[in-house]
Amino acid sequence: MSNVSNPTARTRVVREPHRGIYDREAVNQVLDEGMMCHVGFVVDGQPFVIPTLYGRNGNVLYLHGSVASRMLRNLQQGVPVCVTVTLVDGFVLARSVFNHSMNYRSVVILGTATMVDDPKEKLAALRAVSEHVVPQRWDDARQPVEKELKVTSVLRIPIEEFSAKVRVGPPVDDEEDYAFPTWAGVLPLETKTGAPIPDERCQREFPEYLKNYSRKKKL
């Protein structure tokens, strides 16, 4: 299993090629810090893009959902799929409108999804999704029983054809613009948790593992 994806014509970064990254470790870091992906698939020539959660186990990405889900029913037919994960790190505020940009890290994975039938892999995959989204929650909640697993589909997508695109750092202005009288730099963006809202019948203390929640700490 290669640690570098030889970019295909389909995954090679065309625009700003210096931002292209084909290294598996870097791609995994983005996948692990991201929370949600956008899944693209085609029905009758029309693309659909649907947000969903995911988990990673080694070189496999897992999606899950109801067996009644239109997306999962389509994907399990073995159609080509594109999974994109995007982290938005900040506004890049240049002196000229034209040189404005975003700092971001995004990963694109092309592949084909297959249904996970093996009960052991299915349970491990659901646990991987759960641990990916809220680490330590699985062991602190009532775990799935047979009838729940029955109405849940899990799909596996091998992480084989992939690329990442990354922009970091300050704005780059044209030399003659540096005298323009405006603030310039990066305004970072981050996703944070707000004050927890216990439900009406909750009788427990808010747990430590949720207090320290951060997408960043996995890096």
- How near is the Cβ of 130 to its own copies at its closest, in Å? 6
- How near is the Cβ of 28 to its own copies at its closest, in Å? 19
| 23 interacts with its own copies by CB under 8 A | no
Using CB under 8 A as the binding rule, the residues of this chain from 62 to 121 that contact its own copies are: 65-66, 68-70, 80-84, 86, 88, 90-91, 93-98, 100, 102, 104, 106, 108, 110
Residue 212 CB burial class (10 angstroms; 0-12, 13-18, ≥19): exposed
Q: Which residue has the tokens 């849940």?
A: 152
CA–CA distances in Å: residue 41 to residues 47, 136, 191, 194, 209: 6, 32, 27, 34, 35
- Cβ partners under 8 Å of residue 216, min gap 6: 33, 190
Using CB under 8 A as the binding rule, the residues of this chain from 176 to 205 that contact its own copies are: 177-178, 180-202, 204-205
**Alpha-carbon span 200 to 196, nearest angstrom:** 13
By beta-carbon proximity to its own copies, the closer residue of 59 and 69 is: 69
- How near is the Cβ of 64 to its own copies at its closest, in Å? 11
By beta-carbon proximity to its own copies, the closer residue of 3 and 209 is: 209
The Cα diameter of the chain in Å comes to 67
| 51 interacts with its own copies by CB under 8 A | yes
Is 134 within 8 Å of 210 (Cβ atoms)? Answer: yes
By beta-carbon proximity to its own copies, the closer residue of 56 and 107 is: 107
- How near is the Cβ of 103 to its own copies at its closest, in Å? 10
**Alpha-carbon span 13 to 105, nearest angstrom:** 13
Using CB under 8 A as the binding rule, the residues of this chain from 113 to 172 that contact its own copies are: 126, 130, 133-134, 137-138, 140-145, 148, 152, 170-171
By beta-carbon proximity to its own copies, the closer residue of 3 and 52 is: 52
